[in-house]
Amino acid sequence: MILKNKLPGHLMAAIAGALFTLAFSPYNHWPVLLLASGCIFFVTQKEALRPTLIRGALFGIGLFGAGTSWVYVSIHEFGSAPVPLALLLTLLFVLLLTSVFIIPMFLSYIKLRDRYNVKASWQRALLFAAVWVLFEWFRTWFLTGFPWLLQGYALLDTPFQSWAPVAGVYGLSLLLITTACLLTSVIIERFRLYAGQVLALVVTAVAWAASFPLGHITWTTKTGSLSFSAIQGNIPQSLKWEPGYLEDTIRTYFGLTEKEWGQDLVIWPENALPIFYSNVRSVMQQLDRQANDSGSTFITGIPMDDNSTGEPRYYNSIVASGVGDGRYYKQKLVPFGEYVPLESILRGLIDFFDLPMSAFSKGTSSQALLEVPEATIAPYICYEVVYPDFAAFQARDSGLLITISNDTWFGRSIGPLQHYQIARMRSLETGRYMIRATNDGKTALIDDKGKTVKSIERFKEGILRGDAPVMKGTTPFMRFGSYPVLLFSLLMIVLTVHRSRRTR
């Protein structure tokens, strides 16, 4: 046994999970992941089924308990749940994520490790790393997905981010977790190295070193630029959906936009007008006329009601008008925020299960992109930017990315800053500039390297003006998606198992 007393190992697992949060925005201490990942591998690599699953569960509770604590804000402050109930629902959310994603990951690792009698710590390290990445990907789509706190995001703003246009965020995750586990295996073996272990360490070191020449490769090129004004209205969430406050909201956005007509793009954030399109048709027509008269494309988020099928359907949408054209319905909906699972049971129990605009339908995958003079724009609404392969697919035929959001639901918590970090990764992976328009921040222009060009301070109304380059070309990640990394992870498992069987 690594630890005769199980309690220290259990405690180390929970602490390792909680430490993950420090690697992401706003803290950005990415080397913490090497320590935390190595720690959870260390305390599970020789344990039996039961203690390993216990430690996996404690790790998941630490990871999601610290990393997604911002859920509490939306439940308590804007869902009107009392503190005890909000804490309970947050805990249930954390336990759900742990039971659906983390425990199955550790169970898969244990079953593979024991079924094929993988004994060498360095082989177990490769097995653990490969299973980890496959389950990060699994988290992206299972039960609509929750691709948050993926290790690769922590490498933004480091020289090693240059792998992102090639291998995406999962490639960065694989680099981090493999390195952490292999280094831990060296410590476990008391620095006694084996041939296969040395080879794995050399390959990993080469991958880290290759980041530097990769950073000099330009995958996409500029073909032009669009001037833009992105409006940050800073409407309080407590007032945003109040019918009596609608006139003030319209006045705020019209006032901020008054001098911006003439820009190529004028952009309002997600659900800037918190009312269905059909109920403000005259307002939208006025905005269309102003945009046309000034040669601008007006882009806004607005709830859309559609009765074309004979059955009322509601969509979270982006509409482009003026000299541009397009309508996009959100495809990736947020559970409870935009639709209620088990609606017949939960709807009406508490305010949190009856939030404004929580009955949206899902848009189809065959929608056209937004068209403006001299460019095609890939639109994303809020949560959609957290899906790497979805975002890359959307971007293929575009020259510019636009995402609109309303992170006001999460107040001054770390959630919106994590969300912004994720959005930046999408620009890096696709080699595209991104204009991000939000209600209260962070409204920003992000370049093709994932860097913030300019932004508006959070929690203040304002206007972000600038020129957004239009790009052409594709990155390897746009072309192949996450499949190469997933196949490589599977290959790591196969080779590890094969080598282990040969050495029995």
Q: Angle CA(373)–CA(377)–CA(382) in degrees, nearest 5?
A: 140
Indicate which residue of 240, 330, 442, 449 is catalytic: 330
d(CA 144, CA 162): 29
The reply to whether 4 belongs to the active site is no
Indicate which residue of 47, 382, 429, 442 is catalytic: 382
**Residue 64: its H or E element:** helix 49-67
Query: Which residue from 273, 470, 245, 502 is spatially nearest to 372, judged by alpha carbons?
Result: 470
DSSP states of 311-376? S-EEEEEEEEEETSBEEEE-SSPPBTTTB-TTHHHHTTSSGGGG-TT--PPPPPTTPPPEEETTEE
Q: How far is CA 137 from the centre of its chain?
A: 12
Residue 104, both tokens = 């199955």
Q: Angle CA(284)–CA(290)–CA(295) in degrees, nearest 5?
A: 125
DSSP states of 11-33? HHHHHHHHHGGGGSTTT--TTHH
DSSP states of 157-181? TSGGGGGHHHHHHHHHHHHHHHHHH
Indicate which residue of 270, 338, 384, 429 is catalytic: 270
Tell me which amino acid residue 202 is.
Answer: V
Residues 6+ apart with CB under 8 A from 128: 41, 44, 45, 109, 177, 181
Residues 6+ apart with CB under 8 A from 388: 140, 147, 168, 169, 170, 425, 426, 429, 477, 481, 482
The reply to whether 382 belongs to the active site is yes
> In degrees rounded to 5, what are phi and psi of residue 231?
-100, 125
Residue 447, both tokens = 């370049």
d(CA 39, CA 3): 13
Residues carrying an active site annotation: 270, 330, 382
